[in-house]
Amino acid sequence: MTVHRIALVTPPYHSGVVETAGTWPNVAFVYFAGVLRQAGYEPVIYDAMTMNHDLAQIEAELRRISPDAVLTTAYTPSYPKAIEMLRMVKSSLPGVITGIGGVHAHFMYEEVLTKDGDAVDYVFRGEGEATLPEFFACLNAEGDPGSVAGLAFMRDGGVHLTPTRPFLADLDGLPAAWDLIDWGLYTFYPLPDTNLTIMSTSRGCDQTCTFCSQQAFWCRTWRARSPEDLVDEMQMLKERFGVGVIMFSDETPTLDGVRWKRILDLLVERDLGLHILMETRVDDILRDEAIMPLYRQAGVRHIYVGVERTDQASLDAFKKNATVEQGRRAIELINANGMISETSMVLGLPTDTPESIEATFRLAQHYDPDLAFFLTIAPWPYSDIYPELEPYIETFDYEDYNLVAPVVKPIAMTRDELQTTVINCYRRFYMGKLKQIGTMTKEKRDYFMITMKLLMENSYLTKFAGGLGSMPAEVNELLRKWL
């Protein structure tokens, strides 16, 4: 069989609190589709997650697309849905080649192939832009896939791993198939009248955080697009596709301070009127204290910094390379410059107690971010911290590794007690913020109220918290007053 049409499918997994912000396309698929089309293939991007399609609808849509290959991607909690989907493909579309990439499959390729080899023909490891065209050219030429770097597959009853593919040396000018995106699907809920996309300004992470997968996936390397290439693409997205909100997907877009300043200057110079959401590190915010007004002028409206814990011992254990006071100061700077501040607290460590969680909650209030998320630690099986957490893991259902459902049991608490305590942190934090809305600027107040309503009504948390119906009468009255 000759491979020509390739379906790139986002699996139908819903990931919890992150979905309170909006919906955005899978940026990896945009670049995969770009290089595949450039090589003469016909890629199709199908976002089954955002479309809320179930397996029957996915089957019907794939029959309509009639692909020769179906590829998907997964992080740990989305992996079961991805495999369920590929297993359906194997049973309903015989002869179609299946493959999976993403951080989970990259590390867990042996488990993927030995446990779910009936659903997966090939695992794609690392970056896919060079691997995918070479792989399909090899198949169409009836060559040996073992000659293609960046793969894992079953051969002679065992897992065959091909050599690791080097990272792309140059991220500028990658072909991007933005025209294949169904823009009507993607919006930022606080600003619903414009299109939302996600973009990557860089790839990699040079940090050592023990609970995270990114530094391991990227081998503690970091590569960046040039400011001109990045801002050119942002301008094109605004002018051609009506994009008004851009979310940077990379963890440290600000790592190179000189480069980042040039990006901000270009955005101010071109005056694109974009609303930018981003994540960065505490130390980069502190470095940029003098130019924080420039962030705002360039369109940065929402910054997430990962404080994670509010006691220094835990930060040191996580290898965050930051102090408690630095985290507090970074949030103060974001707030002082009129931007939305967001952070997260990681709870549910084996040593946690109701008292330690209460202390974390009170210090989170002291930090005073606009938005705070109280996350239960997810023991990614490939993270540095996993061996330490493994004895305390009580569920091995990957779908629960979503930072909301407790997976690890603290020594002094049950998982049910942990879940109740964490949800109570959310409830108390946002009740407290609601009582402050009269002191907020109109921009912050509108943004906060929409986010709050979505968090309580539409997020994964409603499974546990019961939605706004369980909120006290005084809080419902505040919602009615300000919404």
Per-residue pLDDT tens digits for 326-385: 888 999 999 999 999 999 899 999 999 999 999 999 988 888 999 998 999 988 888 888
CA distances from 7 to 29, 65, 71, 83, 377 (A): 10, 8, 6, 15, 33
Structure tokens that stand for 123 in this block: 């695992």
- What tokens appear for 313 in the block? 């011992």
**What gap in Å lies between CA 402 and CA 405, rounded to an integer?**
6
Of the candidates 263, 257, 323, 266, the residue with the CA atom closest to the CA atom of residue 288:
257
pLDDT at 311: 53
Yes or no: say if 47 and 25 are a contact pair by the CB < 8 Å rule: yes
Q: CA-CA distances (angstroms) from residue 463 to 16, 38, 458, 459, 460?
A: 10, 44, 10, 8, 6
Checking if the pLDDT of 390 tops 60, the result is: yes
Residue 191 pairs with which residues in a beta bridge?
Answer: 188
Which residue ranges make up each domain of the chain? 5-161, 186-305
Is 19 or 43 the better-scoring residue by pLDDT?
A: 43
Question: In whole angstroms, what is the distance from residue 224 CA to residue 204 CA?
Answer: 8
pLDDT confidence band for 215 (50 / 70 / 90) = low
How many residues can be counted in the chain? Answer: 483
| Residue with the larger pLDDT of the pair 323 and 202 | 202
> Over pLDDT 70: what percentage of the chain?
87
The tens digit of pLDDT for each residue in 392-416 reads 999 999 999 988 889 999 999 999 9
In this predicted structure, the answer to whether residue 16 has a pLDDT above a threshold of 80 is no
> CATH topology for 186-305?
Transcription Regulator spoIIAA (3.30.750)
Determine the CATH number of domain 5-161.
3.40.50.280
Q: Helix 473-482 vs helix 442-458: angle between axes, to the nearest 10 degrees?
A: 130
Average pLDDT (314-334) is: 72
Q: What is the pLDDT of residue 467?
A: 44
For the cut 60, the answer to whether the pLDDT of residue 172 exceeds it is: yes
Can you give the pLDDT at residue 1? Answer: 73
Structural tokens at position 130: 């060079």
With 80 as the cut, is the pLDDT of residue 91 above it? yes
pTM of the predicted model as reported, rounded to 2 decimal places: 0.91
